[in-house]
Amino acid sequence: MNTQPRPATWLEIDITALLENVAALRRVVGENVALFPVVKANAYGHGAVPVAHALLSAGCAGLCVARLDEGIALRQAGIRAPIWILGWIPPEHISAAVEYRLTPTINSLAQAAALHAATPRGEQTPIHIKVDTGLSRYGLLPDEVLPFVRDMRMFNHLSIEGLWTHMARADEPDPTPTQRQLARFAHVLEAVHAEGVHPRWLHTAASAAILNPALENAAHFNAVRPGISIYGLRPSREVAWPIHLRPVLTWKARVARVRELPAGTAISYGGTFVTPHAMRVALVPVGYGDGYPRALSNRGEVLIQGRRCRIVGRVCMDNIVVDINHVEHVEEGDEVVLIGRQGDAAITADDLAHWLGTINYEVVTQILPRVPRFYI
């Protein structure tokens, strides 16, 4: 374990858990399906570069990001594996995809022309085409794909390496909406094949579509894009996911001060909590400036000595105050767990999501770079 002294608040990223999750996903999809994990948004808050290196060391075929700058940062960190860009790149910046050997998803002739012009003579740049089968975001509608594929013939420096889509409701128990999307994708794929175009990579499944047992592996094709599951988190609470995943991220802090406040004392900005009796409280140096949501004011909980301790008063930019009346012998410097396990107790990203009325994706991706990451 990394024994470097810990600051006021920090994350511990468990690489062993990450690799165990990769192995579990590989058992689900089989050895003939390539894993292209998603490391966008700083690897869902876990740290893109160290996570990417670990994933590739585990045999993943490549990586997925959302934006051009995310791919460039990975290249600048020495990563040479294939990197797919799943989102939009402005045509005036798309030449960087060639420079950094990134694989873009394009959906306009303007993007294609810019990419073609940037590709050196005698070389080809691989592209992916996204089929909008029902998410209504990026990509081409099914009846737009074949004309676009035909238009690509005028750009002899481009090769259609991948065809893909993304599911809108694969994290729900009812597989019907996802099955409809897969049927639309299959229809487009049949037409593309009839045109004599055979993309190397076909990918439709992110974590939910990989794991939803009701889909019976129908979405796997020959590549998958696991995201949230890689980090040990469930795509939703609505489905009984068939594998055990270990959370990779633990968020910790240290007690900065212990005080006993008399009854009638207002705590933090706005005085939204007033002590009903004499109370022992602990100051914890973490706040919304670290990505710990202000909406957890007077409702969130942390772990101290394996006991849940409620936040009292508003979450500040750099501090929270918690009730430790029921916990004995708390001292300055004691460990505080914001997300993770302490003794027999645990507070999960799903717990925070429940308190906030959101999803675990948002909880982990909003942890800011100010919080140092330690890889263990």
Residues annotated within a binding site for substrate? 137, 317
What is the sign of the dihedral through the CA atoms of 209, 211, 216 and 221?
positive
Query: Backbone phi, then psi, for 90, in 5-degree steps?
Result: -60, 140
Distances (CA, A) of 289 to 8, 9, 24, 308, 357: 13, 12, 35, 23, 20
Strand order in the sheet with 257-261: 257-261, 279-284, 320-323
Query: Are 64 and 225 within 8 A, CB to CB?
Result: yes
Q: Residues annotated as binding site?
A: 137, 317
Q: Known catalytic residue: 40?
A: yes
Catalytic residue among 44, 130, 138, 269: 269
User: In whole angstroms, what is the distance from residue 361 CA to residue 358 CA?
Assistant: 8
Query: Both tokens of residue 209?
Result: 């579509």
Q: Known catalytic residue: 130?
A: no
Query: Backbone phi, then psi, for 337, in 5-degree steps?
Result: -110, 120
Query: Are 245 and 233 within 8 A, CB to CB?
Result: yes
First CA to last CA distance, the chain: 5
What is the sign of the dihedral through the CA atoms of 125, 105, 176 and 206?
positive
Query: Are 62 and 81 within 8 A, CB to CB?
Result: yes
User: In whole angstroms, what is the distance from residue 327 CA to residue 286 CA?
Assistant: 20
Residue numbers annotated as active site: 40, 269
